[in-house]
Structure 1
Amino acid sequence: MNIATTHSMTESPQERLAAILDSHQPSSILTVSLNPIPVVAQWCADHNCTLVEIQEQNPFPALGDIDRVDIAIVADQLEYMPHHDGEALMGLLRNLHTDSMVAVYQPTLAPQKLRWPTNGFLALGCREQGHFAEDGRELNIYSYDLDNYNFERKWNNPRFWANPENWGKYWW
């Protein structure tokens, strides 16, 4: 279940992002952002982590030279891209470059015609990790992790299988 939470001044977006990195303990991070992300650079320096940065208006050509990384972070990028390009970027990262991804999105920075729909990140399999609002500004953090994006269903086991003796034997 994805539950949106508004964080008070007790936790900042930077602290939330650092907590996500702490929980993953990556050895390599890719950032796709028009501007540097200081909290990520500091985390990498403190944890002997390789940081690869793409700071391009059009990040697609640079992604061709990037190998797989432990986690990818997209920030200050999706607000300035057409929605279909943003979806393509997130899908490309998720499918080719990493098993874990974080998107930091500020809807109020995006022009109205470029804003993502409310469920746009959820449609890509992301979970909301935080919603921060202060002085008319908003920031949302979403994450995707291949290992836990699709929860285990209680009905998907041999007990509910039409032929339980064939469970796990045949793949079609």
Structure 2
Amino acid sequence: MTDTLPATDERLAEAIDTFNPQRLLLITDHPPALPQTRLDHWAYTGQQASDAIDALPSVDLAIIDGDAGFPSAAAAIQLVGRLRDVTATRTLVIASSARTGALPRAELIGLGLHRWQDSRDPDRRRRWFHFALQDYKTTPDWLNARHWANPELWDKFRW
């Protein structure tokens, strides 16, 4: 993405192979060469994506480069939240390992993303974070009719 190392392109190809999307949204200021596949894809810069936040296409996988030129950190966080909640089935964010930048680690974890991979560059300075609603949280055992809202227990316990 912003680092034009082949390692980032390899990780991108691995993400596409792993998640097998039919529709891909890529937000970066330096788009890499995508593998030759029958993949519908859209590429935006950070500024373009922030400007068109309500018109972004629905996709299976959205990949956001945290070093893309976003107007502000708040705009970058809003974009990731919008993609996570409305637009994308899966969201990958490539963030710098530094604690500064438009998308720092603490903000990504606060948005519910978890660390997926490191980049394969020699100093591993980039971190990949992932979010998919279907594996975000497992349903706890107590969250069922057997344990609460059970009419058989209404007269036995005082709540």
Q: Normalised by the size of structure 2, how large is the TM-score? A: 0.75
Partner of 1:118: 105
Partner of 2:31: 36
Shift of 1:130: 1.6
Indicate which of 71, 85, 104 corresponds to 2:94. Answer: 104
Indicate which of 49, 54, 60 corresponds to 1:70. Answer: 60
Q: 1:89 to 1:152 in 2, by over 3 A?
A: same
Q: CA separation in 1, counterparts of 2:54 and 2:19?
A: 25
Partner of 1:161: 148
Partner of 2:115: 128
Equivalent pairs counted in the alignment come to 147
Contact residue 79 and residue 105 of structure 1 kept, 8 A: no
Shift of 1:139: 0.4
Q: CA separation in 2, counterparts of 1:119 and 1:26?
A: 27
Q: 1:33 to 1:164 in 2, by over 3 A?
A: farther
Unaligned runs of 5+ in 1: 1-11, 166-172
Contact residue 33 and residue 54 of structure 1 kept, 8 A: yes
- The two structures, once aligned, show a CA RMSD in angstroms of 2.9
2:39 maps to 1:49? yes
Unaligned runs of 5+ in 2: 1-6, 153-159
Runs of 4+ in 1 over 6 A off after TM superposition: none
Partner of 2:51: 61
